[in-house]
Structure 1
Amino acid sequence: MKVAVIQMNTKSDKEENLRKAEGFIRQAADNGAELISLPEYFNYMGEESGKIENAEQIPDGRTTSFLSGLAKEYGIFIHAGSIIEKYSNEKSYNTSIIVSPDGKIVGNYRKIHLFDIEINGVSSYMESNSIEGGDSAEIVELPFGKAGMAICYDLRFPELFRKYALEGCNVFFLPAAFTQYTGMLHWETLLRARAIENQCYVIAAGQIGSHLPGKVCYGNSMIIDPWGTVVAKAPEKESIIYAELEGERVQSARESIPCLTHRKPQYY
């Protein structure tokens, strides 16, 4: 299965963001991608006050309809890294969806672990001020096999990915808007760890560059195989990367080094 990962620098103009995403999606589809993955908040990254205004109903919102049309036109799967879903007058959900080639939503995941941090005066952010956390994992059946859905800060909670692996997943989606500071320290290390310890592909579409004063994202979108090898990595600009998901790579890793996908965990 040929996968494309789109790296974007999303800003506050939603329609412009969608036009940009459409251009990338069409380019990737024309290059033979059967599954296209977008980053977290791909249709809006602006002031916190704008989140409620730009939140949408799922499946009846502007972005969902836009993705559905493109998926049907090209006969592909589109993974919408995440969009802002309506929840209340004060908060929204940070929601990831997967649209099938017939334009239907086959995966819907609301980010569980919210990005509430303060790092020694270097950086602070409270996603929970505007976002309501989800409460359930989501597994999607794809032609390649089962895929587990996660978003950005979820990466730091290995239990979620272990659950997915034990339930038969071969792929993890991890769209992100990882900060420049934490990205330099941990992004690739954690992505490769999740791939190695669960012997799964990791598809990680990221935001890159400055979005607001003080908000700079790390980029470095990646596709990582079940051995922990980075098979594709984006340059430091908006771009598309490609890779083939190969079932034999999953099988080879699991036969060579059996781990939790084959053995019950031991607790001491």
Structure 2
Amino acid sequence: MIKVAAIQMCSGTQPERNVQTMERMVREAAAAGATYVQTPEMTGALQRDRAIFSTILREQENDIIACRAGELAAELGIYLHVGSTAIARGDGKIANRGLLFDPKGRLATTYDKIHMFDVDLDNGESWRESSAYTPGKDARVIDLGFARLGFAICYDVRFPALFRAEAVAGAEILTVPAAFTRQTGEAHWHVLLRARAIENGAFVIAAAQGGLHEDGRETYGHSLIIDPWGRILAEGPEAGEAVIFAELDISASRAARARIPNLKNARDFNLDMLPALAKGGLTA
């Protein structure tokens, strides 16, 4: 059994304030016994103004969130997973990057968000992540000793092949830190995350942003921890800060996969594109 925590934030536009919030909530999680703690997507800042955003960007070794997270992980003796923060790549583009620090404060691995949120929503919201961010190319699974952890960020949740690949590689915990919009969250957040847990026989941990942010956007909240059978073990509020906890029995992942062995039973197949039917029905 391991105790995990997901931290729900409502990140503002200034990393200096957000890092203080992150530290306070990480300490709360560790004090309650969590050995793995996850923060949401864009922990460092949510800022729509590109010109202002560019002034707060730093490369990873100088990023305030990355540096403080490593120090906290070492001090508290925990795995600290910064769900993501914006990292300057040095080529004029940005990485939406997750960072996992081990209990000695060492950077265990990073993950750059693969799928870019380029959408136009019914309420007039329009997002083009690819105009600023460089998408990642590599899925990641890391063995922490007590469990294998797979990585994703927010919009990645809509691409089940990513999660299937990580599960086939042995991931028992799938992570989906996010800053889901309110509109899409109300429609799809719970069902997508529960589906990823069920179809892969894995725990899902999804720390979320929640509430009305300083830059005017509104995120859905409802941070979730879900078991391999799709049951919600812990859930955050619709808006505002929260730390949610669950104790995970990692053997439950193996048990779920034994009961419904769909990962093992998957088969390759061919797809035939058939010609259109003639008007009036089938032809001879």
Shorter chain as denominator, the TM-score bin is over 0.9
Tell me if structure 2 keeps the 8 A contact 1:226–1:249: yes
Q: Does 1:241 align with 2:250?
A: no
Query: For 1:47-126, what aligned pairs fall within 5 Å after superposition?
Result: 47-88=49-90, 90-120=92-122, 122-126=124-128
Distance 1:264 1:122 in 2: 40
Distance 1:89 1:49, change over 3 A: farther
Secondary structure of residue in 2 paired with 1:243:
strand
Deviation string 1:136-189 (CA, Å, 9 cap, x unpaired) is: 111111132211111000011111001001111101110000000000000000
- Aligned identity (percent) is 39
Distance 1:91 1:201, change over 3 A: same
Tell me if structure 2 keeps the 8 A contact 1:52–1:89: no
How much does 1:221 deviate? 0.4
Between structure 1 and structure 2, the one with the greater Rg is 2
2:20 equivalent in structure 1:
19
TM-score, normalised via structure 1 length: 0.95
**Large movers: runs of 4+ above 3 Å:** none
How much does 1:214 deviate? 4.4
How much does 1:121 deviate? 5.1
Distance 1:166 1:75 in 2: 30
TM-score, normalised via structure 2 length: 0.90
Q: Does 1:216 align with 2:225?
A: no
Tell me if structure 1 keeps the 8 A contact 2:46–2:215: no
Amino acid in the other structure paired with 1:21 = M
2:3 equivalent in structure 1:
2
Amino acid in the other structure paired with 2:262 = C
Query: For 1:155-194, what aligned pairs fall within 5 Å after superposition?
Result: 155-194=157-196
Deviation string 1:42-68 (CA, Å, 9 cap, x unpaired) is: 111113323322222224432222011
Amino acid in the other structure paired with 1:10 = S
Count, aligned residues: 267
Tell me if structure 1 keeps the 8 A contact 2:10–2:241: yes
Distance 1:209 1:146 in 2: 31
Deviation string 1:90-131 (CA, Å, 9 cap, x unpaired) is: 321100010000111112001110111012453211111211
1:250 equivalent in structure 2:
253
* Pairwise CA RMSD: 1.4
Greater per-residue strand proportion: 1
Tell me if structure 2 keeps the 8 A contact 1:93–1:111: yes
Amino acid in the other structure paired with 1:142 = L
1:230 equivalent in structure 2:
232
Distance 1:134 1:114 in 2: 9
Secondary structure of residue in 2 paired with 1:169:
coil
Match of 1:263 among 253, 262, 265: 265
2:30 equivalent in structure 1:
29
Distance 1:11 1:239 in 2: 16
